[in-house]
Amino acid sequence: MVAVIKTGHSLRRIVNYNENKVKEGKAQCIAAGNYPVDVEKLTFNQKLNRLQKQAALNENVTRNSVHISLNFDPSEKFSDKQLQEIAATYLQKIGFGEQPFLVYQHHDSGHPHIHIVTVKVRADGSRIDMQNIGRNQSEKARKEIEQIFGLVRAEEHKQGQLSGLKPVNVQKAQYDRTETKRAITTVLDEVLKNYKYTSLHELNAVLKLYNVTADRGSENSRIFKNNGLLYRVLDERGNKTGVPIKASDFYSKPTLSYLQMRFAENEAARQPYKTRVKNAIDLAILKRSKLSVADLIAALQKERINTVVRQNAEGFIYGITYVDHRSKCVFNGSDLGRQYSAKAIQERCGQNVETTQKRTMQKMEKAGPVVLAANYTSNSEHGFVNTGTTILPERLLQPEHTSDFIPHQLKKKNRKKKKKHGTHL
């Protein structure tokens, strides 16, 4: 089971979101906890008023709404009663057992899941502290509930695969705004919270795996100048297609300002995972004396690391990004160190960077402009020359250093030339 907790300023918006799903036939309200009337007899206003009245007991709590989703393994099947029990048990364990709450079962995804709507103001007007609730109370509750109800443990999911998440169906989303928005929402809900990215480019490295991109528009566009953001579907060739959706139109509000806040948080959070990616690259190169870039990409995929290359129209590869699905971290090559940048990786793979760009472009075009560059070759017929560069095994066992090390022999000596003063007679 995976739990996702969000807070907000508007109870009406959250209830509306779930009730609209009910109207569309994609959800049903299966429980109303701590309400005076059974859920079947409640109207929309009665559901909302109960929550709003309790929230009004403390006007100082501005982010008073709580929206929780509990996500289960696709193989699991539940009755309404079982889901009600799981929801009530979870809320009790995280300190919300006495709060009024609504439970909605959604049917719009590839895995079973429920949404819970509640408030963080108690009946006596006090505020429920939610600081680190996801890391502490929720994580403990999740593990206990998995054991009590015999659920598939979150740790047993294949790491690197998002539960039930598939690339957007481009044909369905191409002309239908509702379908486009729904498909993009599914991807954003999983990626934005789970992955550690520090720039829009790094976020797009993940989103593109699911045929989605975040787009600021051209620098002269109104969207860009106003710090706006659009989300778009990509076709099989990586081109933008379908109807663009404004970030502010999504329920979760994944705007540029929200992403920038995530960038800052993720910078520190991803630091402990750099070594894993660097070691995976070093080991892959060490194991084979002749290794093409495509071979390296394939080797990293086995370690659940996707490699995203960026190149210009002439086929010059100028950037490389690594998406580690195990740690859910995204790194620009240069952020890992000079030896992991696009140019250095090509050189370490024995590729003559300047003379093979056009041939590289031709090979990638044959395979189609996909995210993963999987059609490089390493034989001399195509111009990839091994330079004999190797990595000593001892290096992989050395402690990680935060600063780049430059051998003393390679340092340039900057000596000031002494001015010669002639003698004057």
Same domain, 71 and 177: no
In a domain, 25, yes or no: yes
In a domain, 415, yes or no: no
Same domain, 55 and 90: yes
Instruction: Phi first, then psi: give them for residue 332, nearest 5 degrees.
Output: -70, 145
Q: Count of alpha carbons within 13 Å of 354, Cβ hemisphere only?
A: 0
Overall number of domains in the chain: 3
pTM for the predicted model, two decimal places = 0.50
Q: What is the pLDDT of residues 136-172, one digit of tens each?
A: 899 999 999 999 999 888 765 544 444 455 666 655 5
Q: What is the pLDDT of residues 295-351, one digit of tens each?
A: 888 889 888 899 988 877 766 778 899 999 888 999 999 999 999 998 898 888 876
Q: How far apart are CA 194 and CA 165, in angstroms?
A: 13
pLDDT reported for residue 74: 74
Closest C-alpha to 20, from 189, 245, 251: 251
Q: The domain that contains 81 carries what CATH number?
A: 3.30.930.30
Same domain, 212 and 253: yes
Same domain, 193 and 316: no
Kind of pairing, strands 240-246 and 230-234?
Answer: antiparallel
Segment 269-274 long-range contacts (CB within 8 Å, at least 24 positions apart): 269/196, 270/196, 270/198, 270/327, 270/329, 270/330, 270/331, 273/196, 273/324, 273/327, 273/329, 274/329, 274/331, 274/335, 274/336, 274/400
**C-alpha distance from residue 6 to each of 11, 14, 39, 164, 353 (Å):** 12, 10, 23, 21, 47
Please give the angle made by the CA atoms of 112, 115 and 43, to the nearest 5 degrees.
Answer: 120
In a domain, 419, yes or no: no
Same domain, 10 and 147: yes
pLDDT reported for residue 358: 52
With a CB cutoff of 8 Å and minimum separation 6, the contacts of 159 are 304, 325, 326
In a domain, 425, yes or no: no
Q: Choose the final residue of a domain: 233, 268, 303.
A: 268
Spatial contact of 295 and 288, defined as CB atoms under 8 Å apart: yes
Q: What is the pLDDT of residues 237-264, one digit of tens each?
A: 788 888 899 999 988 899 999 999 999 9
For residue 142, what are the domain limits? 2-156
Same domain, 392 and 282: yes
Same domain, 147 and 191: no
Range in 11-15, 152-156, 401-405 with the lowest mean pLDDT: 401-405
Same domain, 202 and 334: no
Q: Count of alpha carbons within 13 Å of 289, Cβ hemisphere only?
A: 1
In a domain, 213, yes or no: yes
Same domain, 236 and 334: no
Query: What is the arrangement of strands in the sheet containing 240-246, beginning at the earlier edge strand?
Result: 212-215, 230-234, 240-246
Q: How far apart are CA 187 and CA 166, in angstroms?
A: 8
